[in-house]
Amino acid sequence: MTNSNRRRLLGFAGGTAALAALKPVHAQDKFPSRLIEVVTHAGVGGGTDITARMMMVHAPGVFKTEFVVVNRVGGSGAAALQYAMEKPRDGHVILLITQTHLLTILRSKGKFDYADLVPLARATDDPQILAVGKGSPFKTAQDLLGAGKGRAHKYGTSLVGGVDHIAVASIARTAGMQAPTIVPFRGGGDVVINLVGGNIDCALVNYAEAESQFKAGDIRALAIFAEKRLAALPGVPTGKEIGVPGSHSTVRGFITLRGVPDDRLKALESGLVKAMQGQLFQTYLETSGQSMDSVVGAGPWKAQLDDFMVEGKKTLETLGLLK
């Protein structure tokens, strides 16, 4: 998404209100009875922050109350989790999380418990794309996978032990390739730059962060790790089509914490899904190159998080990153 598009979308989504006084939780009370806080681990203007604000465009009309983003940056989601844990479990505080929060929980040595997270609705599902530079000798995914059985490829990632590192390791293991050599960078933008420059063999990237390079032909997509092909890259096969089943994506979705009454959980789930089915949020998904099937309710969202916890724990242990 271009900076101008981001500014335009943020302009639509602006506006907050003051916090109202807290009161004890009663399932039969009117809900919501005051402003709802949306806690994120990202700074203002980042992808997660923007996703929260896009949801908030239609949410006030659905819930008949105001929403405010609370940015709690630090500790790879730990600060956001801690903030929410100190609030009443009454449904007026929700979090927008990514897999990063789950990795933080895995490494927290019991400080945070995954069982405390109650999934509400997924917001975005941004598939990861296996890509190489235009000068790469690998013209197809089969070329790269075959070569990877004889030598370790050099993969660019945004963080050692992060979401894309785990995905790379899982793909290599599934495909019977040698363990990849990981080259960490400060973020996805730097990964794309080094892919274009030929400093790494390959990388997993999201479409939005590499859209201009894909369109210019500076990098080449070999496979997309999603259930269906991406509309923006219709000629690129899925992982299943190349013999490496499994979905790998950057996901964002809403949760609350255990203890919120069931009737409020249902109201939050249905209201969030309805808000994200609104025109502006759907336009946001389309213009940022994300799956148009991103928005789902609590059931499939929980299943995806459960799968990532299992795979993440296994991969971190294999990599020696979980003691």
The residue type of 181 is T
Residue 20 CB: number of other CB atoms within 10 A? 13
The residue type of 36 is I
Mean pLDDT, the chain, as a whole number?
89
For 130-166, what is each residue's pLDDT tens digit? 999 999 999 999 999 999 999 999 999 987 888 889 9
- In DSSP terms, 202 is beta-bridged to 155
Closest listed residue to residue 169, CA positions, set 185, 182, 159: 182
- The Cα–Cα gap between 238 and 223 comes to 5
Predicted local distance difference test score (pLDDT) of residue 5: 53
Predicted local distance difference test score (pLDDT) of residue 2: 52
Q: Is 256 helix (H, G, I), strand (E, B) or coil?
A: strand
State residue 174 phi and psi, 5-degree precision: -65, -40
Q: For residues 13 and 155, which has the higher predicted lDDT (pLDDT)?
A: 155
DSSP, residue by residue, 136-158: -S--SHHHHHHHHTTS--EEEES
Is residue 17 pLDDT above 50, yes or no? no
Predicted local distance difference test score (pLDDT) of residue 75: 87
Q: Are 110 and 42 in contact (CB under 8 A)?
A: no
For 93-139, what is each residue's pLDDT tens digit? 999 999 989 999 999 988 999 999 999 999 999 899 999 999 999 99
For 158-191, what is each residue's pLDDT tens digit? 878 888 899 999 899 999 999 999 999 877 889 9
For 239-271, what is each residue's pLDDT tens digit? 999 999 988 888 999 999 999 999 999 999 999
Supply 129's token pair: 């794309």
**Whether this model's pTM surpasses 0.95:** no
Q: For residues 302 and 317, which has the higher predicted lDDT (pLDDT)?
A: 302
Q: For residues 31 and 18, which has the higher predicted lDDT (pLDDT)?
A: 31
Instruction: Look at phi and psi of residue 22 and say left if phi exceeds 0, alpha if psi is from -120 to 50, else beta.
Output: beta
Is residue 24 pLDDT above 60, yes or no? no
Predicted local distance difference test score (pLDDT) of residue 287: 83
State residue 128 phi and psi, 5-degree precision: -90, 140
Predicted local distance difference test score (pLDDT) of residue 11: 53
Closest listed residue to residue 214, CA positions, set 129, 127, 102, 274: 129
